[in-house]
Chains A and B, each alone.
Chain A
């Protein structure tokens, strides 16, 4: 039976203002959801809410109809989050960086393969401080390959990636979906994730109520 991850009338309040309100989403096993919207519309916030890093002020997240807030540990165990920060320690080698995060989630068998997959196999023993920004991004993506998780939450995963790496990412997500996983991506670039991915334009849910007037804020 396919699993379903959904959110109902989610409202996000951040930095003294409502970012979006009454937002609904739903993803099922094998599906991909692409979040779009202008800068500041709340794509990152929504992904952080989905991950449980940010609390929604209203609404609820559900897994197969049960509230996620009742079993936060289970929710964390089934998701991978790649944020805009790379969580890379410059003094550790590429392999050590990846191995640490992988070993928090289980065995280490996947590390070498994951580095090969994202094209960092040859520089695995290099200190991470010498990585370019695109290579850092690849290393972040290697985390989702090195250990398995059912839900992938990817915040702007394509930033800094070259064409080749975007291709790798597209294949990864397509394979993940084919294997029964689900993925949520926030991105500005057109990306092919293996067909009939759903789009969600967050600006449709832009909050109408605001605590401060825009004019008042800009002063």
Chain B
């Protein structure tokens, strides 16, 4: 089981690193978009500080979404999905491994970049730790939920846009509680309840999303 997981994750990481640029593109989008806000809203430090957590999180959400259409599409196009379904391995495990690889290539770099961008947005000091903790709890959920959307959109024309329409509404609770956690810690309240709810969402998505995405993958071949 562990062996198969490692095998699948290594394959996806190797593919991504060799054809390059997917992860880099996500980070570039994240950085550029956040940089636009001080230019658009104006460099007033208090205004930026108030919207900092929201801007960083909304942009991280969009950056994650941007990378979702490649999750299953290339396997689908070259017939690998057939063979993954036929492999004597639970398809849910395959999906979980692909989601893990996706998170390592997008979620993890986002977490590393977020504090820098938060500083650019003048996020008050008290918010940094909670921002990072909330990202560690919530970005895996984003990848998991995204995998369901990506699997459902397979074979559709304009799949990328369809994924956004499917997935963005489901991202709303994650966004609300993640930003809520950071705001709470800035205003001196405890972020604990928000973080617990983010943890609960992750705990729910971890078994449910691979199961749903696997069902969608099987259906995509019909």
A interface residues with partner B (beta carbon < 8 Å): 48, 51-55, 73, 76-77, 79, 81, 83-89, 91-92, 96, 100-101, 103-105
**Nearest-Cβ distance from residue A57 to partner chain B, whole angstroms:** 11
Contact B78 A86, beta carbon cutoff 8 Å: yes
Contacts of A73 in B (CB 8 A): 88
**Nearest-Cβ distance from residue B159 to partner chain A, whole angstroms:** 18
**Nearest-Cβ distance from residue A19 to partner chain B, whole angstroms:** 13
- Measured CA separation A89–B221 after assembly (Å): 20
Contact A79 B86, beta carbon cutoff 8 Å: yes
Q: Give me 5 other A-B pairs in contact (C-beta within 8 A), A81-B83, A87-B79 excluded.
A: A53-B82, A83-B79, A84-B79, A87-B80, A91-B15
- For A92, give its contact among B15, B85, B221 (CB under 8 Å): B15
Contacts of B83 in A (CB 8 A): 81, 87, 101
- Residue of chain B at shortest CB distance from A78: B88
Contact A77 B221, beta carbon cutoff 8 Å: no
Given contacts A85-B79, A87-B79, are A53 and B85 in contact (CB under 8 A)?
Answer: yes
Q: Does B192 contact A (CB under 8 A)?
A: no
**Nearest-Cβ distance from residue A110 to partner chain B, whole angstroms:** 16
**Nearest-Cβ distance from residue B31 to partner chain A, whole angstroms:** 26
- For B86, give its contact among A51, A55, A84, A85 (CB under 8 Å): A51
- Residue of chain A at shortest CB distance from B3: A103
- For A85, give its contact among B11, B82, B85 (CB under 8 Å): B82
**Nearest-Cβ distance from residue A133 to partner chain B, whole angstroms:** 13
Q: Does B18 contact A (CB under 8 A)?
A: yes
- Residue of chain A at shortest CB distance from B81: A87
Q: Mask for B60-98, Cβ within 8 A of A = 1, else 0?
A: 000000000000000000111011011111000000000
Name B's interface SS. Answer: helix
Q: Mask for B161-175, Cβ within 8 A of A = 1, else 0?
A: 000000000000000
**Nearest-Cβ distance from residue A17 to partner chain B, whole angstroms:** 15
B14, B78, B88, B221 — which one has the most chain A CB atoms within 10 A of its CB?
Answer: B88
Given contacts A86-B78, A86-B79, are A53 and B86 in contact (CB under 8 A)?
Answer: yes
Size bracket, chain B contacts: 10 to 19
Contacts of A96 in B (CB 8 A): 14
**Nearest-Cβ distance from residue B181 to partner chain A, whole angstroms:** 39
Q: Does B7 contact A (CB under 8 A)?
A: yes
- Residue of chain B at shortest CB distance from A79: B86
Contact B11 A100, beta carbon cutoff 8 Å: yes
Given contacts A73-B88, A87-B83, A100-B11, are A55 and B78 in contact (CB under 8 A)?
Answer: no
* Sample (16) of A-B pairs whose CB atoms are under 8 Å apart: A53-B82, A54-B222, A55-B222, A76-B87, A81-B83, A81-B86, A84-B79, A85-B82, A87-B80, A87-B83, A89-B15, A89-B78, A91-B18, A100-B11, A101-B87, A105-B88
Contacts of B222 in A (CB 8 A): 54-55
Contact B14 A92, beta carbon cutoff 8 Å: yes
A54, A73, A79, A87 — which one has the most chain B CB atoms within 10 A of its CB?
Answer: A87
- For A104, give its contact among B14, B87, B221 (CB under 8 Å): B87
Q: Does B4 contact A (CB under 8 A)?
A: yes
Contacts of A77 in B (CB 8 A): 88
Contact A76 B82, beta carbon cutoff 8 Å: no
**Nearest-Cβ distance from residue B21 to partner chain A, whole angstroms:** 12
Which parts of B174-222 form the interface with A (CB within 8 Å)?
Answer: 221-222
Which parts of B1-38 form the interface with A (CB within 8 Å)?
Answer: 4, 7, 11, 14-15, 18-19
Given contacts A104-B7, A104-B87, A105-B88, are A92 and B18 in contact (CB under 8 A)?
Answer: yes
- Measured CA separation A83–B81 after assembly (Å): 11
- Residue of chain A at shortest CB distance from B88: A77
B18, B83, B222 — which one has the most chain A CB atoms within 10 A of its CB?
Answer: B83
